[in-house]
Structure 1
């Protein structure tokens, strides 16, 4: 299976409403379209982590579109589809995944919480990314957990790693507990409302 397990999980947020024109921002690569990637680091098929991360990406891209940014349909990289990941990272599918992750643009990274940190499968893949490989990336860390004591793991473990890899992380990560799932819609909306302007500013400055 391709390293990009599925394309287009996010509706084309850059699609214009008839009769409504939005200002365009030209990025350093000469494009007015922001690439978007969703990386899921869960070993489980159709996991809670994947669902939360995809839904957050969809809502965030919709709000960013309203600020004048055109966001391309997101591409999904699922580490479960890359197993086993060779330590030398030479397989074509692993190289394709790394190419996706290092594109300038918006990157959502989701992981379940293991031992107060992110998954080992996710770490294996990120270890293969070149130094400062996320230097032109605006990243959104997302983690799911069962224990309320792990709610801060997203900002204590995953966000610092992304910053160390060169990514810009302009907003606090999103942590979703099992007990939060019945109120997920409201939780996502609250996060997007608080983070959207920070993400938009970072994308215009970074990409």
Structure 2
């Protein structure tokens, strides 16, 4: 397979490192889901560095956050650890998300985490979608379940999805797919298309008050307390 040369993006500047974040819903040790995501992240880093850029990789492991996720689903209030995970996703330039497949679907842990994300948290953010399973029968879960989910979140999934069953790990085809997906991710990042979309259309999206999106966050300073409704809410009179 021929991997395209990735040219540095002038707008980013030579000193600015690309921030990648891996999100892994794997719970075993070692985790095949984490391994697949890590290999993809490393390939993306290699491509960026080969073109004269720099990159960092952070990881959000969902297994240790399982109790926090369950409590937030019930209470509606994320813990500090969970909010930190959201903030890391919001600050990332690109994501690699990976989940095991159970019973013909993504893991409940992965879906519950996604259910807690603000709808504007990863708008126009490039992302590689990946999954692992014990059988190739689950190979379409990535495109049938994960891709619509991230379309709803308005992210930009790379065209190539990744899936690995046990028999795939010993074949070169998996490495070729990883290289293709990583190349697509880096080209999306270097094109600046995600940032351009968010910069241009941000105000047209729905935003959650006090949410965790890093761009144009809405806080109490954005509230107009002089309106009739807000004066009534504060106990005043019209």
**Which band: TM-score by shorter chain?**
0.7 to 0.9
The superposition leaves residues 70-121 of structure 1 with CA deviations (integer Å, 9 ceiling, x where unpaired) of 322x111111111212222421100001111222411011101112221110
The residue matched to 2:10 in structure 1 has which SS?
A: coil
The superposition leaves residues 159-186 of structure 1 with CA deviations (integer Å, 9 ceiling, x where unpaired) of 2211211110122210001111222xx2
Whole-angstrom CA distance in 1 between matches of 2:21 and 2:90 = 9
The Cα RMSD (Å) is 2.3
Whole-angstrom CA distance in 1 between matches of 2:52 and 2:174 = 21
The residue matched to 2:170 in structure 1 has which SS?
A: helix
Aligned counterpart, 1:80: 63
Whole-angstrom CA distance in 2 between matches of 1:130 and 1:174 = 25
Whole-angstrom CA distance in 2 between matches of 1:168 and 1:81 = 27
The residue matched to 1:171 in structure 2 has which SS?
A: coil
The superposition leaves residues 110-166 of structure 1 with CA deviations (integer Å, 9 ceiling, x where unpaired) of 101112221110111111110131114111011001222211111111122112111
Aligned counterpart, 2:165: 177
Aligned counterpart, 1:43: 27
Is the 2:44–2:185 Cα contact (8 Å) retained in structure 1?
no
Aligned counterpart, 2:130: 142
1:17-96 map, 5 Å: 23-27=8-12, 32-72=16-56, 74-84=57-67, 85=69, 86=71, 87=73, 88-96=76-84
TM-score (norm 1): 0.78
Deviation at 1:69, TM superposition (A): 4.2
Is the 1:170–1:199 Cα contact (8 Å) retained in structure 2?
yes
Aligned counterpart, 1:168: 156
Whole-angstrom CA distance in 1 between matches of 2:12 and 2:169 = 37
Aligned counterpart, 2:187: 201
Is the 1:155–1:172 Cα contact (8 Å) retained in structure 2?
no
Range with bigger deviation, 190-199 or 125-134: 190-199
Is the 1:25–1:32 Cα contact (8 Å) retained in structure 2?
no
Range with bigger deviation, 172-181 or 45-54: 45-54
Which of 102, 112, 136 aligns to 2:100? It is 112
Range with bigger deviation, 142-151 or 39-48: 39-48
Distance 1:67 1:116, change over 3 A: farther
Q: Provide structure 2 residue ranges, at least 5 long, that are not aligned to the other structure.
A: 1-6, 196-238
Whole-angstrom CA distance in 1 between matches of 2:103 and 2:24 = 18
The residue matched to 1:182 in structure 2 has which SS?
A: coil
